[in-house]
Amino acid sequence: MKRSKALPGRHLGYDATDHAQLFARFFKPQMAGLAAHVQAALDRGGVPEALLPDLDGAAQNLFGEAPLLEDGYVLTEDGGMRVSVRTDMPGVTPAMVDWWFGWHGDQAAKYKLWHPQAHVHVAWRDMPPEGSTGRACYVGQTSLVDEYIGSDLIRGSIRFLPPGQLGFTDRSLEDDREATIVCARIGLGEAPIEVGYLAHHVRRVPGGSEMRSRFWMGGRHVAGRNLAGTLAAAVARRVLKLGEADARALLVHCAQEMPHLASFLPALHAQFRDPA
């Protein structure tokens, strides 16, 4: 991925203004170590493509009888990568996750709660409809983010999509007490180039929820949003070759931020779920 330059006024961590926010007590700068199953995936290294299906096999992989691999990464022949991570989220409901994705996107101090050692800035490209909640607050919106993936500062865009657009139509998704899936197209900041997709499937389990995250990045998933972007994407597909360091960094980032989110989300949701 292309490294971005830091912009003035954007920084890691909390400053005095951030600490004055009502939700600041949920900022926890220390994070837990990686789960054993994630560390095992890193120790194993890359796996064959057949073990992590591409986007066209994602629905069966997530909603079929037996997912092939829950934690790992693949480097594809076209210069792309696929990453898979499972996260246990005790005390969290799928509806809380939907609420979070709508709630945090308007303020950097909220975004930093999620990954205090990597998240720098966030803003909506266009504000969500006033009074919207849950999925309606973020689906169809684009979140502009600055975050570190490993040691690289990335300026990205996350355009949230209706699940059905990626083929996720399982009946369980109709009840946010049972399941949800957060889907998005990932782009390069304000540039008209998109470089991948993500999906976070959250399903209820005894004592909370289980999140199963999938990323499909680079290779055939690089495309333009307009004519200029399409021309630039043709070049990007030739030069944007994602390697093992990129895959491992993304796997670690997800495996850090999602358990950290689960550590405070139930209490945060209880306090702030109703609009002020």
pLDDT along the chain (276 residues), means of 10: 80 97 97 98 96 93 82 95 98 98 97 98 94 92 97 96 96 95 93 92 98 96 75 68 95 98 98 77
Task: Provide the pLDDT for residue 145.
Answer: 97
The residues spanned by each domain of the chain are 73-272
Task: Provide the pLDDT for residue 131.
Answer: 84
Task: Provide the pLDDT for residue 276.
Answer: 46
Task: Provide the pLDDT for residue 274.
Answer: 76
Three-state SS string across the chain, please?
CCCCCCCCCCCCCCCHHHHCCCCHHHCCCCCCCCCHHHHHHHHHCCCCHHHCCCHHHHHHHHHCCCCCCCCEEEECCCCCEEEEEEEEEECCCHHHHHHHHHHHHHCHHHHHHHCCCCEEEEEECCCCCCCCCCHHHHCCCEEEEEEEECCEEEEEEEEEECHHHHCCCCHHHHCCCCEEEEEEEEECCCCCEEEEEEEEEEEEECCEEEEEEEEEECHHHCEECCHHHHHHHHHHHHHCCCCHHHHHHHHHHHHHHHHHHHHHHHHHHHHHCCCC
Task: Provide the pLDDT for residue 71.
Answer: 97
Task: Provide the pLDDT for residue 235.
Answer: 66
CATH topology of domain 73-272: Alpha-D-Glucose-1,6-Bisphosphate; Chain A, domain 4 (3.30.530)
- What does pTM read for this prediction? 0.94
One-letter amino acid at 64 equals: G
